[in-house]
Amino acid sequence: MTVLVTGGSGYIGSHTCLELLNAGYDVVVIDNLCNSSPKSLQRVEELAGGKHIPFYQADVRDRAALTKIFEEHTIDFVIHFAGLKAVGESVAKPLAYYDNNLNATMTLCDVMGSHGCKRIVFSSSATVYSGDNKMPLSETSKTGNCTNPYGWTKYMGEQILRDIAKADPEWSVCNLRYFNPVGAHESGLIGEDPKDIPNNLMPYISQTAIGRRDHLSVFGNDYDTPDGTGVRDYIHVVDLARGHVAALSYLQDHKGECIFNLGTGVGYSVLDMVHAFETANGVDVPYEIAPRRPGDLPTVYSSPEKSRQVLGWEATYSLEDMCRDTWHWQSLNPNGYQD
Ligand code: NAD
Ligand code: UDP
């Protein structure tokens, strides 16, 4: 079985390619490298014992490039990671986000359909859930009211796939809603390599610990949470990657649309993360309390029950594992893949 992985050289994509190869799938990747390095896939090949990943450096909106891939390979499944993901940038450049994320999804599905490949897993996000839900979030919690264009591209991406599955009963569509992916492969060879100043907490913590940033700004300590700082559901990227392998097995014999949360079901605060990182790695993470970040919710965490019961998948890595593996990657590669 061959899986086309769009955005496969990125953070989650590279870890998923490795888990797919380990599970016996063949993998083909398309990525335009707008936010990643070709080194990640070389390292995945190394970790997979020298297995080869055919790589196409192209934009998923490029119909001709996609068609060539489908002509050169028999693709059984697609996992669609390719997308822009910086929330702040999406507010500043909404058209770039709608164009990249939605046109990629539509072009991809069109080319898939015309080659008889109708099984897709889509990288969605907890950001599609409306801010007025009770925790934990289950797959039936209310969606919408997104606070930024990035979130809307995920909401609309899901809807496009849902409509395709409704129109043609041959399609199998799996919308996976990720919570907060962190960590890295235990080898320290692949990991998250933000091009600019990190927006997300964990890469900011590790870049502060290694001295690339002066201190972490903790965005608000007056939320209604146990220590006043924001609470999120952090999940090890290898657990997340394995969730995709579980989703492919499920798609083998299920048609229509399915939705699964990929989270641990446990929430940790910003200060929990700082202290866990310091303890796991014996390093200091200087921080200062800063104002709240606009659009942030106090607490977000998943119910992982449906994924556990239906996919037979659950997260296995602890917070300590997440912190240790992040630091291992960061200290072996202080400047990411540039080293
Ligand atoms: P990433 O930026 O590391 O990976 C995305 C990859 O897609 C990059 O390699 C980039 O070069 C590529 N890409 C982007 N647009 C493309 C296009 N038009 N054509 C070809 N390649 C393109 O990000 P990631 O963290 O690995 O995220 C993967 C997916 O998961 C994204 O869709 C993201 O929105 C989604 N997601 C991520 C998180 C997170 O916190 N990391 C959370 C929820 C959902
Ligand atoms: N956060 C923070 N400082 C940072 C980055 C994030 O205090 O430099 C907080 C943020 O306010 C939120 C949590 O860390 O409470 C997770 O933020 P992230 O951007 O990683 O994920 P998301 O908000 O998308 O869940």
Minimum CA distance residue for ligand 2 atom 18: 200
Average pLDDT, the chain: 97
Per-residue pLDDT reduced to its tens digit, 70-92? 999 999 999 999 999 999 899 99
100 C-alpha to ligand 1 centroid (Å): 11
Residue 222 dihedral angles phi and psi, to the nearest 5°? -120, 25
Burial of 253 (0-12, 13-18, 19+ CB in 10 A): exposed
Closest ligand 2 atom to residue 218 Cα is: 7
Q: Which of 90, 154, 200 to mutate to test the pocket of ligand 2 (most atoms within 8 A of CB)?
A: 200
CA-CA distances (angstroms) from residue 59 to 42, 96, 241? 20, 14, 23
Question: What's the pLDDT score for residue 295?
Answer: 87
Question: What's the pLDDT score for residue 195?
Answer: 84
Distance CA 211, CA 50 (A): 34
**Burial state string for 83-121 with b = 16 or more CB within 10 A and e = fewer than 16:** bbbbbebbeeeeeebbebbbebbebbbebbeebebbbbb
Distance CA 270, CA 221 (A): 9
Distance CA 60, CA 82 (A): 7
Closest CA to 217 of 279, 283, 295, 286: 286
What residues are in contact with ligand 2 under a 6 Å CB criterion? Answer: 180, 199-201, 204, 216-219, 230, 232, 270, 293, 296, 300
193 C-alpha to ligand 1 centroid (Å): 12
For the chain, strand residue ranges (E) read 2-6, 26-31, 55-57, 77-80, 119-125, 172-178, 180-182, 216-219, 231-232, 234-236, 256-262, 268-269, 287-290
208 Cβ closer than 6 Å to some ligand 1 atom? no
Question: What's the pLDDT score for residue 96?
Answer: 98
Under a CB-based contact definition with an 8 Å cutoff, are residues 287 and 218 in contact?
yes
Question: What's the pLDDT score for residue 339?
Answer: 66
Q: One of 56, 97, 129, 150 is an active-site residue; which one?
A: 150
10 C-alpha to ligand 1 centroid (Å): 6
Minimum CA distance residue for ligand 2 atom 6: 201
Residue 230 dihedral angles phi and psi, to the nearest 5°? -65, 145
Per-residue pLDDT reduced to its tens digit, 61-72? 999 999 999 999
Residues paired with 124 in a beta bridge? 177
- Where the chain has pLDDT below 70, the residues are 339
Half-sphere exposure of 329 (CA within 13 A, CB side): 29
33 Cβ closer than 6 Å to some ligand 1 atom? yes
84 C-alpha to ligand 1 centroid (Å): 6
Tell me, yes or no, if 150 is annotated catalytic. Answer: yes
226 C-alpha to ligand 1 centroid (Å): 32
Minimum CA distance residue for ligand 2 atom 1: 201
Tell whether omega for the bond before 136 is within 30 degrees of 0, i.e. cis: yes
Ligand nearest to the CA of 294: 2
